[in-house]
Amino acid sequence: MLRVAAAAVSIASLALAACGHSGYAVRPVPRIASDNVGKPVSRLQEVFGVPRKIDTTPTKLVYVWFLEETPAGAPAGFHGCELEVTVDSRSAHVLGYSLSNIGWAKCPEMARKIHVAERRAKRHASASRPIPCGAERALRAVQMAPVPYTTPVSALRAPFEAYGVLIVPLIFILTLAVQAGLIVHVIRTGRNNLWIWAIALLPAAGSLAYIAVEILPEIFGGRTARRTRAGMQRIIDPNRDLRQAAAEVEHSGNVDARRRLAQQLYERGQYAEAIAVYEAGLKGIFEHDPTLLLGLASAQFAARDFAAARASLERLIQHNPDFKSADGHLLYARTLEAQDALEEAEHEYAAVAPGYPGAEGRLRYALLLKRRGKIDEARRILKDLLDSAKFGPSHYRKAQAEWLERARREIS
């Protein structure tokens, strides 16, 4: 009991000492933003000042703050955190927010000073008998101090003794269910069959290893997961990525930022704008950059400027002979076909189709052969494509469903 009393007195002393403050506190930027969701945006303006810009829509406002902070050792340039806050246009209350790291800065590591005296005054006013801060904290500390060695062990053990008969079989059933589910997942997704033995013979270690190595990367890093997350973000804020890319170009102007902005424009069907951004990046040491030239050719092809697309691809090949890209090679074959250079296109399709990662290359090759009257050869390629997909893993068939369905229609 002496130890209990000493602990309580120590905690109370610390609580009393902590009361002497100036009415301000330092909080991380993410916490400030999250604490103010559902509250007036004026509270954030008090902390962060005047926003850099305010975008207006019929139903909401978007406040954007750029919180500049240069980390130690960072190169010259823009560094900081971009805070984007969505506000209801009628009530002026915060609906949500997003944070973006700019340069070397990291938003979770940035903090700002906020005023807290008002909240403490309200808390004291709500009490039936006002208690000074030190007394209140000391009283709470004593009430919440741990009291070891006083709880009977039998009281702690009783619930487990009462339900012990049910807990053990339930855990066993759940373990078997998890094992069965993971084994089914191995079989359906075409994973290595050694996982079945690992899961069956090592229920805990094998199952955890399979989840960590195979399932989690698929959920958080797979193409389907990325598309799902991107789709949800576009529904909530369709222009968020475009605004962020444009801001990066405005702040830094580097080639990677231009490439990301051009890709955002391309995905939205704004091909002329994407072409302009790509061409603006092809300057100086990046005049013949293969990634920018390939992006430029893709935008030109989508804009149906096939001559310009061919010129960009041939410029890429001329100045970057060691650059390898299956997508770029397929795009070149498609460009030749679009210009009715069918013999040259057939030669390029024959070179790229066998090693192209997916069904699109072989399908387009077969369609060109069919267009040139080589029906038997086209049917042979389509049959080989469908036969190989039939014995391939299910995730391949799912990813290539569009091209495989077209192949079935062509061969029927």
Look at 116 and 265; give whichever has higher pLDDT: 265
Q: Is the pLDDT of residue 111 over 50?
A: yes
DSSP code at position 353: G
100 within 8 A of 10, measured Cβ to Cβ: no
Beta bridge partners of 56: 61
Say if residues 360 and 330 touch (Cβ distance below 8 Å). Answer: yes
| pLDDT greater than 60 at residue 147 | no
Going by the DSSP 8-state scheme, the letter that residue 93 receives in this structure is B
Please state, in angstroms and rounded to a whole number, the distance separating the CA atoms of residues 213 and 221. Answer: 12
* Pick from 12-26, 63-77, 108-122, 373-387: least confident: 12-26
The answer on pLDDT for 115 being more than 80 is no
pLDDT for residue 328 = 93
Residues 6 and 132 in one domain: yes
For the stretch 317-345, pLDDT in tens is 999 999 999 999 999 999 999 999 999 99
Are 138 and 61 part of one and the same domain? yes
Least confident span in 55-59, 175-179, 349-353, 374-378: 55-59
* DSSP class per residue in 24-54: EEEEEHHHHHHHTTTSBTHHHHHHH-S-SEE
In a domain, 139, yes or no: yes
Average pLDDT in the 92-116 region?
A: 84
Helices marked H in 62-152? 117-125, 133-144
31 and 73 part of one domain: yes
350 & 381 share domain: yes
The answer to whether residues 107 and 171 belong to one domain is no
Number of domains in the chain: 3
Where is average pLDDT lowest: 50-59, 303-312, 352-361?
Answer: 50-59
Question: From the CB of residue 8, how many other CB atoms can be counted at a distance below 10 Å?
Answer: 18
Judging by DSSP bridges, how do beta strands 111-115 and 24-28 pair with one another? antiparallel
Q: Tell me, yes or no, whether 402 lies in a domain.
A: yes
Q: pLDDT for 185-230, tens place per residue?
A: 888 887 888 889 989 888 888 889 888 887 777 666 656 556 655 6
Where in the sequence is the domain holding 190, given as residue range(s)? Answer: 167-221
Mean pLDDT score, 390-412: 89
Within this chain, do residues 121 and 174 fall inside the same structural domain, yes or no? no
Both tokens of residue 36? Answer: 């103010």
Same domain? 123 vs 212: no
In a domain, 255, yes or no: no
Cα(282)–Cα(260) distance, integer angstroms = 14
Residues 113, 200: one domain?
Answer: no
Is the domain of 107 the same as that of 15? yes
pTM above 0.95, yes or no: no
Residue 231, pLDDT score: 63
Provide the percentage of residues in the chain whose pLDDT is more than 70. 76
The mean pLDDT value of the chain amounts to 79
Tens of pLDDT, residues 361-375: 999 999 999 999 999
The answer to whether 229 and 265 have CB atoms below 8 angstroms apart is no
At 19 the three-state DSSP class reads: coil
The pLDDT of residue 225: 57
Same domain, 36 and 106: yes
Domain-located, residue 290: no
pLDDT at 120: 44
Shared-domain flag, residues 43 and 107: yes
Give 351's pLDDT tier (boundaries 50, 70, 90): very high
285 lies in some domain: no
Question: Is residue 122's pLDDT more than 50?
Answer: no
- The answer to whether residues 7 and 134 belong to one domain is yes
259 occurs within a structural domain: no
